[in-house]
Chains A and B, each alone.
Chain A
Amino acid sequence: MKILIVGGGMGGTILANNLARRLTNEMKSGKARITMLSASDKHMYQPGLLYLAVGRITPDELYRDQASLLEPGINFHVDPVEEFMMDNNQVKTKSGKIFDYDIMVIATGSRMFPEGIPGMVEAAETFYTEESALKMFKRLHSFEGGKVLITVGVPHKCPMAPLEITFMLHDYFKDRGILDKVQLHYTYPIGRVHSLENVAKWAAPEMDKLGIKYDTFFNIKEVDGANKVVRSEEGVELGYDLLINIPVHKGMEVLEKNGMGANGWIPTNRTKLNMEGRTNVFVCGDTTNIPISKAGSTAHFEADTLGENIAAMVKMGTPVREYDGKVFCFIEAGKDRATYAMFDYKNPPDPKAPTKAVHWFKMAYNKLYWVSARGLL
């Protein structure tokens, strides 16, 4: 059975390794073959960008060679897919090669799309790529005071990022000794400071305590860079000296071009994780249109489910379990305290007060990630 994994990010990598270990014998006997197609020979630890933006890690710490993360026997090609021919169980890559599959998993992730808001690209700093995070840090480094406005586009990757960057900016300016010259102003699209009600109940008093101003029901309409104001769909206008934006995200362009789903999000069954209308095509991570967090942990838990199911399909012809919507997110509450939120389709999170212990566990996880990507944690 030919298993094709499209995408070498967190979800695709964990899944490939998970499958390779479950199907060791089948791979040796030639009954199963795992192929991964990726756009890059490097693997980035994307959550590290948050720390890069405030000068807490350096770019080299974000990367490993993708091939070094994969189990032996996985056929890895740096050759991104350009055309999906699902009626023939084939894809065509950038190099022009055709790959056949019996089972395909699409895990191509998401990309920031600040271009969707007029004026945003020119005016705002962000941290969703290495380049933008470095640019943001250099801007912060030279910032001497004024109003820092944080805006949040929808949908976005990493639901905790708006809160985390706000609290981390507070501590960054405090450490630089210029907090008294900085006014942090947080905004959020819905009627509380976070989509998770219990997280909002924790975060709003934290902001009050730290002197961080916040406005809710603020959906960005446009940025007027010349006058340094952001206008919302709700008719509110807020000024800034430094604009930090959590950008709108889209799925990958190749998926849009192939008509796989609006804005590059593939319609996906929320428990079976198959692409709607296809029984041998599965979707993992940010790429789905499932209404849950676009986060590394989502991709991780989905990959665990898919690993078990696809291995079972090879061995006995049928999947064995369903994805329950599990998500786990650390929440940095500054430079040295953190908490976390864990939830699924049925159970909301109940975050506890931030502690130094959870922060240091997150710091440890930033290193342990490479074990996680290998599918061992």
Chain B
Amino acid sequence: MADKKIVDGRGSFCPGPLMELIVALKASQIGDELEVLSTDKGSASDIPEWLNKVGHEYISTTESEGVWHINLRKSK
């Protein structure tokens, strides 16, 4: 398993953090852990919702100084 990948979606209105995550997951291996950084509060709900739909593992969300850190694992 590779080191945790950081998907830096800070300041990204378009394509946005979830789109950046979708791209990053395509380039990842099953079991890889990723952390999305987002300055958009909506990511805290959008990303876990999408992970649940697709079947990837949602791990956690934390917020620090206006940046949301969403951790997940590629599962399929």
Question: Once the chains bind, are A291 and B9 in contact (CB under 8 Å)?
Answer: yes
Q: When the two chains form the complex, which single residue of B11, B17, B22, B49 contacts A154, counting CB atoms closer than 8 Å?
A: B22
Q: Mark B23-61, 1 if CB is under 8 A from A, else 0.
A: 100010000000000000010001001100110000000
Q: Which of A279-313 contact B (CB under 8 A)?
A: 291-293
Main secondary structure of the interface of A (DSSP, over half): loop
Is A159 interfacial (CB 8 A cutoff)? yes
Question: Once the chains bind, are B11 and A346 in contact (CB under 8 Å)?
Answer: yes
A341–B8 Cα distance when bound, in Å, is: 23
Report the count of interface residues on B (CB-CB < 8 A): 22
Q: Which residues of A contact B11 (CB under 8 A)?
A: 270, 291-292, 325, 345-346
Q: When the two chains form the complex, which single residue of A190, A233, A343, A345 contacts B18, counting CB atoms closer than 8 Å?
A: A190
A195–B14 Cα distance when bound, in Å, is: 6
By size class, the interface of chain A is: 20 to 34
Q: Which of A190-233 contact B (CB under 8 A)?
A: 190-191, 195-197, 217, 219, 233
Beta-carbon nearest neighbor of B22 in chain A: A154
CB A289 to nearest CB in B, in angstroms, measures 9
CB B16 to nearest CB in A, in angstroms, measures 4
Q: Given A219-B54, A291-B8, A345-B11, decide whether A189 and B20 contact each other with a Cβ distance below 8 A.
A: no
A155–B22 Cα distance when bound, in Å, is: 9
Q: When the two chains form the complex, which single residue of B8, B13, B46 contacts A190, counting CB atoms closer than 8 Å?
A: B46
Question: Once the chains bind, are B49 and A191 in contact (CB under 8 Å)?
Answer: yes
A292–B53 Cα distance when bound, in Å, is: 25
Beta-carbon nearest neighbor of B12 in chain A: A291
Q: Which residues of A contact B42 (CB under 8 A)?
A: 197
Question: Once the chains bind, are B54 and A155 in contact (CB under 8 Å)?
Answer: no
Beta-carbon nearest neighbor of B9 in chain A: A291
Q: Mark A342-377, 1 if CB is under 8 A from B, else 0.
A: 010110110000000000000000000000000000
A349–B10 Cα distance when bound, in Å, is: 16
Question: Once the chains bind, are A262 and B12 in contact (CB under 8 Å)?
Answer: no
Q: Which of A231-263 contact B (CB under 8 A)?
A: 233-235, 262-263
Is A165 interfacial (CB 8 A cutoff)? no
Is A32 interfacial (CB 8 A cutoff)? no
8 examples of A-B residue contacts, CB within 8 angstroms:
A195-B14, A263-B27, A291-B8, A291-B10, A292-B14, A325-B11, A341-B14, A343-B13
